Structure 1
Amino acid sequence: MSDAIANAWDYLRGLPQPTLADLFEDEGRVAAMSDRIEWQAEEGDSGILFDWSKTHLSDELLAGFEKLADATDFRDKRAALLGGEKINVTEGRAATHTAERGIGAAPVVEEAMALHARMRMLVEAIHQGALGEINHLIHIGIGGSALGPALAVDALTRDLALVDVHVVSNIDGVALEAAFAACDPATTLVAVASKTFTTIETMTNAQSALKWLEDNGVTDPTGRVVALTASPEKAVEWGVDETRVLPFAESVGGRYSIWSSIGFPVALAVGWDEFAAMLAGARAVDEHFRDNDGRANLCLRAAFADQYYARLRGCQTRAVFAYDERLSLFPDYLQQLEMESNGKRVTSGGDPVDASTAPITWGGVGTDAQHAVFQLLHQGTHLIPVDFIASIAPGDALDPAHHRILLANCFAQGAALMAGGNMAKDGKDPARAFPGDRPSATMLCDDLDGATLGALIAFHEHRVFANAVLVGINPFDQFGVELGKKMANDVEAGGASFDASTQALLETAGLG
């Protein structure tokens, strides 16, 4: 750690810790700590309001974190990311997911646009019947190759799906059988999403899907497969015709890959225009992230709050609650994005980190969560920052009372976490006391459509990157997932030696 970075942290640790009540004595706080990111929609501008006023960030703390950002060379590292430099230092490659949205080095953007055009041609050909009647798609992947498509398909097809999509990631055959039961093999395509086209869980599921098609009278099962991969030659070797291979760049990481051909099931389900809207919403956030510095950069401001709670207040978790059923998978998506990216114990230079990197991300859907985990948030002994996400426009056509009650609950929870109080008539019962001064942030969307979803995802991608820069780690490798996979492969291959407990479990299950 450089002297400048150490001094910035020392300065931050020495600052006073204001309460939320103290901070709200400033009548201009809400305006100063709330801002919008907008984009052009069919009916005028649309966007998301980011309200961080109910966090403990003071002007002094923000200024201190801005000094930290300068000390960590945030601007240069942001430029390196967006310029296509080899920001992933441990693997010696760039991270080019923003190029999929049109932001990046010109040759990389040009290649991404060409691959998008190829995907669009296949999507529209399928919609026009080039492969016969297609009513279902079984999308097989794992990790980011499954979580992103599952989130987007679930969020955007509640009203209408052009093709019924089932995302399968688990090697547990129960998951694949459930997809089989929901699909007619005569009108089903299979998408196999694997960066290397060697991932054992994905390829095993893919083989079982081919067998299911064959067993149910499909004479050319591989003719029903679309391959989404950074290794197109391996997909062709596996038997997929090159016209149905949709490549993406090796420099697009799995958890950042929904913008690439991994988004094929999304485009197939909702149509190319809505997928393009996702890209446009994400690009609006890219431009904001690129063009703003310090606290004016909302992704960086969110990272300032994350670091304040993780490093200065010792918070080990951060909760995310979507007050919209269409975003029920968003906390799951963020778990991988944040914890796989920033769950590191060494710096980019290989030195041990000296404090927390990423909190544990968890969450759920409101109002369900209010009757489960919110008891701990309000009265438990843990201090847990909370993010609320909601949409002003409802996603249903029922009595407007449904949406009014939903939003009222969302906003009331943030207010209650901050204010606290005592619900006893005399105000003296400790069991009914709420300490308050508990932080939250709110992301209030004008509506929830493709552009909004794209913007929400891109916002969190850049928030993750900003956090990584502030603590000096590489968010683009994930070696932590490899050891367990290697040992599982050793079990499958046989002959490996394990500890006594694992050996006993293997023998009890008939695997030893």
Structure 2
Amino acid sequence: MTTLTESAQWQTLESLAQLVEKEHMRDWFASDANRAADMNVEACGLFLDFSKNRVTKDVLKALFDLADARGVAQHRDAMFNGDIINNTEGRAVLHTALRNFSGQPVIVDGEDVMPEVLATLDKIEAFTHSVHSGEHKGYTGKAIKHIVAIGIGGSFLGPKIMTEALKPYQQDAVKVHFVANVDGCHITDVLSAMDHEDTLIVMSSKSFSTQETLQNTLTAKDWFLKQGGTQEDIARHFVAVSSNVKAATEFGIAEENIFPMWDWVGGRYSLWSAIGLPISLCLGFANFKGLLEGAFAMDEHFKTAPNEQNLPVILAMLGIWYRNFFGAQSHVMLPYYHYLRGLPAYVQQLDMESNGKLVTQDGDAIGYETGPIIWGSEGTNGQHSFHQLIHQGHGVIPADFLMPLNVPNQDDTHHAMLASNCFGQAQALMQGKTFADCYADLADKGLDEAERKRLAQHKTMPGNKPSNTILFEKLDPFTLGALVAMYEHKVFVQGVIWQLNSFDQWGVELGKVLGNQVLAGIQGNTEAETFDSSTQNLINRFKQTNAPK
């Protein structure tokens, strides 16, 4: 296959970029009354208006031609079929199997994984029911009232953000608290408000040895024992999501309360698995299943819709356009819904951990830009801070505006104000405000000519800033599942275009290894020669400050 940047499709896009760079979106809207109607797509409860992008029909065709030429459809089918597409770890990538309600088998290494996937869902449902009904009791006979979910990375971020986003669906039976930070302040603060007799700890770690997760779980265990529980009582108050059954049972967890994980599910794609147990405990199993059903609907859409109507493909190729042909270094996400405020952080991990890579699948150095910086904040808050940079700063920062058309306990005044800000910001980014308009606004202000021109210059906004607007009727479990799966597949498509393995994370792994080595150094279990002089000096300073007085 021709290298990416030498392909005919890439060359076409480079030529189109030079033409588009000289044009302005406000002129396109003025000359084409059908632009908005021609550039929107609706599927799985999501409506995407992508008309406020610096693209023409010729650009879109060239982008979709690039997707076809780089084999997006073939790579997509390989993923869904269970092929070994994570080539650095020799694994299939099958988070999609976790929400497969088609009734069709999914074969990995000659075996259908669906019976085990469905059995795990049944186990999650049964355990959730036992907790909510009061059947699962603590060692003193009290019903469980509090869940402390301990994880890190994908084992923490997905469940936490999904339960926050679906707050109106949270159950009254239990309250779920999340702990990830190894800073002891967090776990101490959470446990200090708990009664050990009605608290359940859910520990999520595939290896049962992730440093932060294990230490927080050991702290929780120590707390439980000091409060009056015994080693035998651990089985009533601790459950695990892990592949390491031996380590979990040695810890004291009952084998029937260990939920499986699989090598073919990466951490940032794992909320659909038993990692989602806290979601089920928080929202109820029916709502957890609704989340999976929404994701499954998006999977089907991604597999069957043509490029021109395919939500993940459209978003992915627009991202390619700005990253590689307009030099966009970042992409901002702007949810106009308080409960969805965590989504930028979720997509940040999903995107940056997947596509922040230096080499292709074949190990060749990459000579073009890959994954952008993902960032963002909720609603109108950002308008009074970082939106200034998007409006008048140099460079292109594409934006995704997201908003439900209806919200729980809706106050029409509040919601109308929220919608007006969402739509108004997207409009302002697109059209900007010319010097002439700003100059005219300053008439009759008692300014001399020089001052009037000077102020007009400061007030001028170039516009031509691209954005997508994503609307949905309401944020229910199905819609949230579809939304998250859409971003998963967007990241996948971009990884295919950039020829990356989007499913390993060696930078993260290096951080884990070095963190363990430094811990050994702090604890005096490693020779000083192991570390560079800076790291050793930092270790020494820490040890001196914390030495027994």
Deviation (angstroms), 1:333: 0.6
Alignment partner of 1:296 is 2:306: no
**Cross-structure match for 2:205:** 194
Whether the 8 Å contact between 2:4 and 2:498 is mirrored in structure 1 is no
Deviation (angstroms), 1:222: 4.1
Deviation (angstroms), 1:5: 6.2
Q: Which runs of 4+ in 1 moved over 4 A?
A: none
* Normalised TM-score (structure 2): 0.88
SS of the aligned residue for 1:321 comes to strand
CA distance in 1, matches of 2:88, 2:168: 41
Deviation (angstroms), 1:108: 2.3
1:170-189 counterparts in 2 under 5 A?
170-189=181-200
Deviation (angstroms), 1:423: 4.5
**Correspondence for 2:391 among 378, 393, 397:** 378
**Cross-structure match for 2:257:** 244
**Cross-structure match for 1:426:** 442
**Correspondence for 1:471 among 498, 508, 513:** 498
Deviation (angstroms), 1:156: 1.5
**Cross-structure match for 2:429:** 417
Deviation (angstroms), 1:351: 0.5
**Cross-structure match for 1:350:** 363
Deviation (angstroms), 1:22: 3.8
Could you tell which deviates more after superposition, 126-135 or 225-234? 225-234
SS of the aligned residue for 1:509 comes to helix
Alignment partner of 1:321 is 2:309: no
Deviation (angstroms), 1:230: 3.0
**Cross-structure match for 2:12:** 11
**What letter matches 1:209 in structure 2?**
A
**Cross-structure match for 2:146:** 136
Deviation (angstroms), 1:157: 2.4
Deviation (angstroms), 1:277: 0.7
Alignment partner of 1:505 is 2:511: no
Whether the 8 Å contact between 1:115 and 1:248 is mirrored in structure 2 is no
Could you tell which deviates more after superposition, 171-180 or 105-114? 105-114
Residues 1:511 and 1:170: Cα distance change in structure 2 (over 3 Å)? farther
**What letter matches 1:144 in structure 2?**
G
SS of the aligned residue for 1:84 comes to coil
Deviation (angstroms), 1:243: 1.0
Q: Cα deviation per residue 1:440-480 (whole Å; 9 max; x = unaligned)?
A: 10111110111111111100000000010011101000011
Could you tell which deviates more after superposition, 139-148 or 183-192? 183-192
**Cross-structure match for 1:408:** 420
**Cross-structure match for 2:375:** 362
CA distance in 1, matches of 2:193, 2:423: 38
CA distance in 2, matches of 1:273, 1:183: 27
**Cross-structure match for 2:85:** 87
Whether the 8 Å contact between 1:157 and 1:269 is mirrored in structure 2 is no
**What letter matches 1:10 in structure 2?**
Q
Could you tell which deviates more after superposition, 58-67 or 227-236? 227-236
Could you tell which deviates more after superposition, 229-238 or 465-474? 229-238
**Cross-structure match for 2:485:** 458
Q: Cα deviation per residue 1:357-406 (whole Å; 9 max; x = unaligned)?
A: 11000000111111110111111113210111110012334x32111111
**What letter matches 2:121 in structure 1?**
H
**Correspondence for 1:30 among 26, 31, 36:** 36
Deviation (angstroms), 1:91: 0.7
Deviation (angstroms), 1:294: 2.0
Whether the 8 Å contact between 1:51 and 1:441 is mirrored in structure 2 is yes
Whether the 8 Å contact between 2:169 and 2:287 is mirrored in structure 1 is no
Residues 1:190 and 1:4: Cα distance change in structure 2 (over 3 Å)? closer
**What letter matches 2:428 in structure 1?**
A
Whether the 8 Å contact between 1:395 and 1:448 is mirrored in structure 2 is no
Max Rg structure = 2
**What letter matches 1:371 in structure 2?**
H
SS of the aligned residue for 2:42 comes to strand
**Cross-structure match for 2:48:** 50
**Cross-structure match for 1:153:** 163
Deviation (angstroms), 1:499: 2.5
1:261-340 counterparts in 2 under 5 A?
261-340=274-353
Whether the 8 Å contact between 1:20 and 1:56 is mirrored in structure 2 is yes
SS of the aligned residue for 2:377 comes to strand
Residues 1:4 and 1:467: Cα distance change in structure 2 (over 3 Å)? closer
Whether the 8 Å contact between 2:170 and 2:284 is mirrored in structure 1 is no
**Correspondence for 1:117 among 112, 122, 141:** 122
CA distance in 2, matches of 1:165, 1:4: 47
**Cross-structure match for 2:217:** 206
Whether the 8 Å contact between 1:5 and 1:72 is mirrored in structure 2 is no
CA RMSD of the aligned region, Å? Answer: 1.7
Alignment partner of 1:2 is 2:12: no
Whether the 8 Å contact between 2:327 and 2:395 is mirrored in structure 1 is no
CA distance in 1, matches of 2:496, 2:422: 32
Whether the 8 Å contact between 1:101 and 1:279 is mirrored in structure 2 is yes
Residues 1:203 and 1:346: Cα distance change in structure 2 (over 3 Å)? same
Whether the 8 Å contact between 2:302 and 2:310 is mirrored in structure 1 is yes
State percent identity of aligned pairs. 39
CA distance in 2, matches of 1:14, 1:109: 47
**Cross-structure match for 1:42:** none
Alignment partner of 1:443 is 2:454: no
SS of the aligned residue for 2:276 comes to helix
Whether the 8 Å contact between 1:193 and 1:202 is mirrored in structure 2 is yes
CA distance in 2, matches of 1:451, 1:500: 53
Deviation (angstroms), 1:56: 1.3
Residues 1:473 and 1:511: Cα distance change in structure 2 (over 3 Å)? farther
**What letter matches 1:34 in structure 2?**
N
**What letter matches 1:89 in structure 2?**
N
CA distance in 2, matches of 1:234, 1:443: 44
CA distance in 1, matches of 2:220, 2:311: 44
**Cross-structure match for 1:226:** 239
Deviation (angstroms), 1:224: 0.8
Deviation (angstroms), 1:270: 0.8
CA distance in 2, matches of 1:364, 1:445: 19
CA distance in 2, matches of 1:230, 1:476: 19
SS of the aligned residue for 1:367 comes to helix
Q: Cα deviation per residue 1:188-225 (whole Å; 9 max; x = unaligned)?
A: 10000011111011001000001111122233134311
Whether the 8 Å contact between 2:48 and 2:311 is mirrored in structure 1 is yes
Gaps of 5+ in 2: 138-142, 444-452, 522-526
Deviation (angstroms), 1:158: 4.3
CA distance in 2, matches of 1:454, 1:119: 18
CA distance in 1, matches of 2:364, 2:153: 28
Deviation (angstroms), 1:6: 2.2
**What letter matches 2:186 in structure 1?**
A
